[in-house]
Chains A and B, each alone.
Chain A
């Protein structure tokens, strides 16, 4: 075994030993408990039931799980009779079906009542208390999927951090997984959020509405026509993949360049040139009155200094980038001051970047210490 291999083995062994030791102390570590609750929603009219049926049929493809929790937390929004309730209810059912296969539906004169189970994370102490009262209870239980997910999150966090020591197979696995999942995710997002609702939804709204997105809003005629144009441009763009006629893809590219340039030029001139130039034209001497209307010398002095620094900074930085005149004498001096301003700006940018990166590192370390190792409990979730 190589020296590096031995080092990895020792680090791994120490880490596992510490983990086992941590698991045997106090509450242990890294478990997720959930409480089962029954959610019931009543849809008042038959139209809603039909809509719900369509929603259930498409649940496997839309799978907007977050919607379920949003509706479930306030079921009254679906039960309060209004014409808009039907659409909401259909979405709720669709999402619920995607997350909980135990959905049941009963019809009555007042409408259709649907119920399903939801699992909400609870502190381990709540599980212990429930077990003491009734050891056979099933309302609160250990969630294996969420616990495995938690351990996987911790493993991949450490796998990425392990690169700081040296490149290794764990890092490679985590890196490959990130690349693969990201690529697949963006593919799915592009398909379901752009291609289906915007392109297919505009060209074949009836088909998309009945098969995959029951809540699709019908497009206007102009939108349909423009999407035909977009489809043609898209096909032309893909033409470059064919062995002949690759030049055809230059046309949609020219369209993209033209539209982007048009949008960017106007917005940049408005927001970055004109507005910024106006913001720079400030009085060099400022009078700041206090509450009684009398000029506050201290505040006035600082405001004046701030404005002077701003104006001088802009002029000197512009001078530094003005190369038509040799940087000598007054121009050279101004350019040198400009460099100082730029250096301070780069320093501030570096400081902000460091702050951002440390915040992200702190968030991951907090996750490891809190959610996984249960060393701390800043949110008082486990009652430590």
Chain B
């Protein structure tokens, strides 16, 4: 071992880009935590949210529901579980709220086991708390979870009661007043799926909408991971699409604006998605910054290597 190794002052100093390249990744995690938690604290204390400009796909979801005549039947499929609730619950809340405000008759189903519980919670938070006049069985019904994935969808095309023989209370489908005349899924003018993956929006398009595209419309809200797979279906097969929390925030702002009452502030539970856009903004800026820094390091190393 040479003497130089014991003398740090003589050791060659690394260039700045190499020091940055070797930075402990835990500093990045800490930066990301601060980027997310800072806006949450700020928005939590001030109550302020960022303005949203709805895009075409989100506007289409709003309009599809808005154009339905009162008392129309809407099938809402909860194809997610609490693991994805951070992304999907805000859009589920707003979708049910708009349907309830429009006096549409809502039929909730779940193709994910925990979708039933999430649907029940949404019914409690929106319908029972804010629209208590709506009566279960006449204005809305939760049919619960049904195992079978695509098989359930295929069965819905021919026999609704066979796919869902009873609701989540145990009431036989034939005894539910609002479903008395419903034989098959195409009798619902609008199908809504809030989807976190398989089975979900893609399967609804493949097994139901492609077969009944002329008779019923389909709108969906999905996670960020699955949104790129669904955009090719918009607008021909999916009439409206809420992609991730951004889509939820856009749609939420539209529903809030349409249901706003002068002098009455929107209830905080209907601002979930817009609140979460604050951390999104700062975290995305951090990500963009990190990508730029990464590229600068790459080109700096390349240039040094070439020299």
Residues in A lying within 8 Å of B, measured CB to CB: 64, 66-67, 69-71, 73-74, 77, 83-84, 87-88, 90-92, 164-165, 185, 189-190, 193-194, 198, 214-215, 217, 263, 267-268, 270-272, 275-276, 278-279, 345, 348-349, 352-366, 369-370, 375-380
Contacts and interface: CB of A to CB of B under 8 A. Distances in A.
A267 B168 CA distance: 30
9 contacts: A66-B116, A83-B175, A87-B171, A263-B207, A275-B236, A356-B225, A376-B44, A378-B44, A378-B268
A77 B137 contact: yes
Interface of A is mostly: helix
Contacts of A165: 26, 29
B97 interface: no
Contacts of A185: 113
Nearest to A367: B86
Helix, strand, loop or mixed for chain B's interface?
A: helix
Nearest to B28: A164
Nearest to B265: A380
A305 B227 CA distance: 23
Contacts of A352: 224-225, 227-228, 243-244
A349 B228 contact: yes
B123 A70 contact: yes
Contacts, number: 185
Contact of A369 (B41, B83, B244): B41
Given A77-B135, A92-B169, A369-B41, A358 B284 contact: yes
B68 interface: no
B158 interface: no
Interface in B166-190: 166, 168-173, 175-176
Contact of B44 (A69, A90, A353, A377): A377
Interface in B269-307: 269, 271, 275-276, 279-280, 283-284, 287
B86 A74 contact: no
A135 B206 CA distance: 62
Given A66-B117, A375-B44, A362 B279 contact: yes
Interface string B202-233: 00011101110100000000011101100011
A275 B279 CA distance: 38
A361 B283 CA distance: 11
Question: Counting chain A CB atoms within 10 Å of each CB, which of B84, B87, B172, B209 scores highest?
Answer: B87
Contacts of A70: 120, 123-124, 136, 142, 168-169
A221 B270 CA distance: 48
Contacts of B195: none
